[in-house]
Amino acid sequence: MKSFDIITETDARTLEIGSSVTLKPGGHVTPLAADTLKARRITVLRGIAEASLDGLAPVADIKSIAIGSDHSGVALKAKLRDHLRQRGLSVLDVGTEGSDPVDYPDIAAQVARLVARKEVDAAIVIDGAGLGSAIAANKIDGARAAMCTDKTLARYSREHNGANVLALGATLISVDDAKAIVDTWIATPMGEARYIRRLAKIRALERMQ
C-alpha cells in the first residue's frame, strides 16, 4: 500500500482503480485529486498505521467471483452466474447442481475459503433464507459475509462493513431483485478509513482464543 505526504491529480490518475493508499499525518489531498480518487474508487487512509490495516478492505474493483448454493438455491445461482458472466466477470461456480439435498455449511465454507485465500475477489452463497450460509461463511477467518434482502443492505454491507461474501435467500427474493442486489453490492467499494479501522477490531475478534 502506497503512502503519501500529498496526493495530486497526477498521483490519483496513476493509482490502481479500487486500491487503498495511506496519507501521512498532516498530509494533503488536492481538490482535483479528491474528485479523481472518488471516481476511481480509491480509499485514502488518513494518519493511521498502514500495517495494521493491510489487506482489510475488500477488493473494490471486483473482477472474479465465486458462487455456490445448496439445493434450494440452484436455479437462482444459475441465473446470477449467467448475469455476472454477461457483465464480463470471471465466475467460479462451486455447485451444487440438481435437487439432491446438500448441507449449506459445506458450500458456504468452500466459497468463503476462496475469498479468504484471495483466489477470487468476492463471493456469493445462496440457500433458502441466506442466514445459515452467512453464519457458516463467517466462521472462516478472513471472510465477512452479509445476508442482504435489498439494495440498501447490499450497499451498507460493503461500504460500512467491508463484506466480501454476499449471502442470499432464494425463497425471499425474486431473480430480478437478486440481480439488483448483486449489482449494487459489486459496485460499492469500502467507505471511509474509519470503517476500515473497525475491520481491524473484527479481525482481532476472529483471532481470539
Q: Which residues are annotated as catalytic?
A: 160
**What residue type is 43 in one-letter code?**
T
Please list, in sequence order, all residues whose beta carbon lies within 8 angstroms of the beta carbon of residue 88, skipping any fewer than 6 positions away.
none
Distance of CA 60 to the CA centre of its chain: 7
CB distance 182 to 84 below 8 Å: yes
As to burial, measured by CB atoms within 10 angstroms (0-12 exposed, 13-18 middle, 19+ buried), residue 154 is: buried
CB distance 138 to 43 below 8 Å: no
Which sign does the torsion angle of CA 169, 174, 180, 183 carry?
positive
User: In 3D, which of 205, 159, 96 has the Cα closest to residue 146?
Assistant: 159
**91 - beta bridge partners?**
65
CB distance 22 to 2 below 8 Å: yes
CB distance 39 to 138 below 8 Å: no
Task: Write out the three cell numbers for 86.
Answer: 454477461
Please list, in sequence order, all residues whose beta carbon lies within 8 angstroms of the beta carbon of residue 203, skipping any fewer than 6 positions away.
56
